[in-house]
Structure 1
Amino acid sequence: MPVTDLAPPAPPHPSRGAALSAALRRASPALLGFAAVRLLGLAALAVWGLAAGSSPHHLLAERWDSLWYTRVAVLGYGYEVALPNGDVHSNLAFFPLLPWLERGLAAVSPLAHQDAGLLVAWLASLFAAWGIFAVADLLYGRRAGVLAAVVWAVLPVGIVQSMAYSESLFTALAAWALYAVLTGRWPAAGLLAALAGLTRPVGAAVVAAVWAGALLRVRAGERSAGMLAGVLLAPLGAAGYVLWVGGHTGEGLLGYLDVQAGWGNGFDGGWAFARFIGGRLASPAFLAGVGLIAGVVLVLWLYGRCVRDRQPLPLLVYCGIVVALALCASGYFGSKPRLLLPAFPLLLPVAVALARWRTRRAAAVLGAAAVLSAVYGAFWLNGSGPP
């Protein structure tokens, strides 16, 4: 047979290791930028601690929610605190994935449970930044992806990404689940959504995003066993934990809602938050009320911009639910900025706008934002209330 009749050899299929290495190289500027901002925040917290006599380790790993997660890891579920007003704070309010990881890591390493939680959060924050980069890179290109990861790092409440809280873990799972949906990796999307549902109550937003993406593909005529597997897997984490709590408390499907009610949490459409803002406007804290209104308007404007920019439906569904649950919850008003932390699609219009700027100008703006975020984070954690 003449040589000209031979088919050209097929290009070698890259191994998973090679593909992962290439993806990591592509994301490396985003990860380095994110890590630099987070290290700056930790340095500011350390300096503030020296001046104020506070312990950064205590603030990051042994206070507020991190303490509750550690108790779940050490003692299991069933611990509760009765308050003088009759409310009961039960550790059933805290979803189990982070405590499971703390317990597992502490069992195979010399780390204490709280330090295991801190390590999980730090690693998860890097994976979250990588996932945010991957989504933005897929939609808008590498430069926008790098900037999206850094913008997420410089948020005023970015210090939470370095705490033994579940926000970083949840955001990592959510971002990669959304990436899996956008690239048609349905079993992975379903598994990640299930894990997100074991991490925070807002895991329902990831489930809804997977279902929305699948519905779009079905309407376009695409059906597959992998898609069905992803759709069925997605709700298992959240549904499984909520049903377990219902069985544990004997209250059935309403058991988890009763647990949250004991913490003063619920969904009232934002009425309690509106009254909270109104109280600030009618008090000497008037400027704080104005700032809260400005913050809500900014969040809603950014979401509107996401809609106008025609972000993919799974992102809009996910982000819309995260924003709605954060703004319309009836308790812990000081924690609302933290609850919005996983709503990273809000930042994509900002990253796209910054990508059009000259590098020096964008770097200067983000550098200034990083310094302000670091100082505010140190001030915030040394305050009286939980973040």
Structure 2
Amino acid sequence: MNDLATTAAVRRPAPGRRAPAALRRAAPALLAFAAIRVLGVLVLAAWSAAHGKDWHTLLAARWDSLWYTRVAEQGYGYSVQLANGDVHSNLAFFPLLPWLERALSALSPLSAADAGMVVSWLASLAAAWALYLAGERLHGPRAGVALAALWAALPVGIVQSMAYSESLFTALAAWGVYGVLTGRWVCAGVLASLAGLTRPVGAAVVAAVWITAAVTLWRDRAPDGGPRPARHRRMLLGVLLAPLGWCGYFLWVGAREGSLTAYLDIQGGWGNGFDGGAAFASFLWDLGFPAGLGLLAGVALVVWLYVLGARRGQPLPLLVYSGAVLLLALTAKGYFGSKPRLMLPAFPLLLPLAAGLARWRPAWAWTVTGLAAAGSAVYGAVWLNGSGPP
């Protein structure tokens, strides 16, 4: 691991990195991100109209969005029993997005569903800002702009505009990991806790905080080999704060249902759980040769991007975070069509591509980004107008 990777977690931010200045620097990235996402929504609206569907319903009031809205409006306790005996409980959905939907709808004329879409749109901009800062810190301003634009132009980027929790989670996770990179440990701990109230994969942010803190303590141990916690009080406070959201919801569900493993049982009712990737491997096999091989190539590409980032000295908190997101996504059972969406928050995978794009001539870089944005817009429109959930 090179010097960048070993020191990034403990370097203090430069005095000029205050919020207004950082926002001004990020303005090109935010404009590029917003333009790509607006294109995606416009193409979705046109495609939906041509197929007799409503783009607004697809973004705000379908699939998981309905479950979040029900939690916001009625609270927890709703469940549906399927014909095969499985039970789908709304306790499977973490509470931060429904809380925000309820608060925003109470303070405005918006319905809970529309409030969820607004939260996602604003959160996606906040995530793009954090992505810009991470890319700028590691590879320069152009890489920061490229990282935000590439994340917007992912094939599943339309999810960033839906009343789903991915945008909110990515914003909290990206800012939390950036807090670790810049030595803002208490802020990182608070954001990790909030991420843990948003999605189960909030555990990945906790892991980034904990493992980076452990490595930092190990490297800064006393001459006798013992730790020196007095020099890292704020870091230890961040470590204590980080798991409170995730653990708090997990334990609350357990207390409500009378079982410590209640949340895992509820996920099992949805057909979710972790089996080391066995179910995913079986799914690939059942697809047959052409489709299965294509999907396997996609997985190999994602893993290659992770390895490439590690070989190029990506800082430890980014590696831990993206590695945990990938591990949880690829080893989980459930609806396999959702796996690309589950990997959406793993933005550090795009850093090698962003760094490479930043070295190109601007005309070529923007041409490639524009083509990716157009492809993302068309794919998102076709995807959401299909029969299954994203």
Whether TM-score is above 0.5 comes out as yes
Q: 1:376 aligns with which of 356, 366, 379?
A: 379
* Aligned counterpart, 2:293: 290
The answer on 1:364 being equivalent to 2:371 is no
Partner secondary structure for residue 88 of structure 2: strand
Partner secondary structure for residue 376 of structure 1: helix
CA contact (8 A) 2:91 2:266 kept: yes
Offset of residue 267 of structure 1: 0.4
The answer on 1:132 being equivalent to 2:135 is no
Listed as ranges, the matches of 1:235-254 within 5 Å are: 235-252=243-260, 254=261
* Aligned counterpart, 1:6: none
* Aligned counterpart, 2:239: 231
Moved more, 209-218 or 334-343: 209-218
* Aligned counterpart, 1:274: 281
* Aligned counterpart, 1:315: 318
Partner secondary structure for residue 18 of structure 2: helix
Listed as ranges, the matches of 1:321-336 within 5 Å are: 321-336=324-339
Offset of residue 212 of structure 1: 1.6
Q: 1:255 aligns with which of 225, 240, 262?
A: 262
Listed as ranges, the matches of 1:195-210 within 5 Å are: 195-210=194-209
The answer on 1:24 being equivalent to 2:31 is no
The 2-side partners of 1:265 and 1:334 are apart by 13
* Aligned counterpart, 1:79: 78
Listed as ranges, the matches of 1:159-170 within 5 Å are: 159-170=158-169
Q: Computing the radius of gyration over CA atoms, which structure comes out larger, 1 or 2?
A: 1
Give CA deviations for 1:272-319 in whole Å, capped at 9, x if unaligned.
0111110011xxxx4322221111110111111011011111111111
The 1-side partners of 2:104 and 2:15 are apart by 29
CA contact (8 A) 2:49 2:55 kept: no
The 1-side partners of 2:74 and 2:294 are apart by 40
Give CA deviations for 1:25-75 in whole Å, capped at 9, x if unaligned.
100010000000000000000100110110011000100011100000001
CA contact (8 A) 1:125 1:172 kept: yes
The 2-side partners of 1:136 and 1:148 are apart by 6
Instruction: Using structure 2 for the length normalisation, give the TM-score.
Output: 0.93
Q: 2:302 aligns with which of 285, 293, 299?
A: 299
CA contact (8 A) 1:143 1:355 kept: yes
CA contact (8 A) 1:191 1:234 kept: yes
Give CA deviations for 1:54-97 in whole Å, capped at 9, x if unaligned.
00110001000111000000010000000000100000000000
Listed as ranges, the matches of 1:335-346 within 5 Å are: 335-346=338-349
The 1-side partners of 2:300 and 2:217 are apart by 35
Uncovered stretches (5+) of structure 1, i.e. residues with no partner: 1-13
Partner secondary structure for residue 89 of structure 1: strand
Offset of residue 224 of structure 1: 2.3
Partner secondary structure for residue 383 of structure 1: coil
Partner secondary structure for residue 81 of structure 1: strand
1:137 counterpart letter in structure 2: E
Offset of residue 185 of structure 1: 0.4
Moved more, 188-197 or 44-53: 44-53
CA contact (8 A) 1:182 1:213 kept: no
Uncovered stretches (5+) of structure 2, i.e. residues with no partner: 1-13, 221-227
Higher relative CO (CA 8 A, sep ≥ 6), structure 1 or 2?
A: 2
Quick one: percent identity of the two aligned structures? 66
Structure 1's consecutive aligned runs of 4 or more residues displaced over 6 angstroms after TM superposition are none
Offset of residue 15 of structure 1: 10
Instruction: Using structure 1 for the length normalisation, give the TM-score.
Output: 0.93
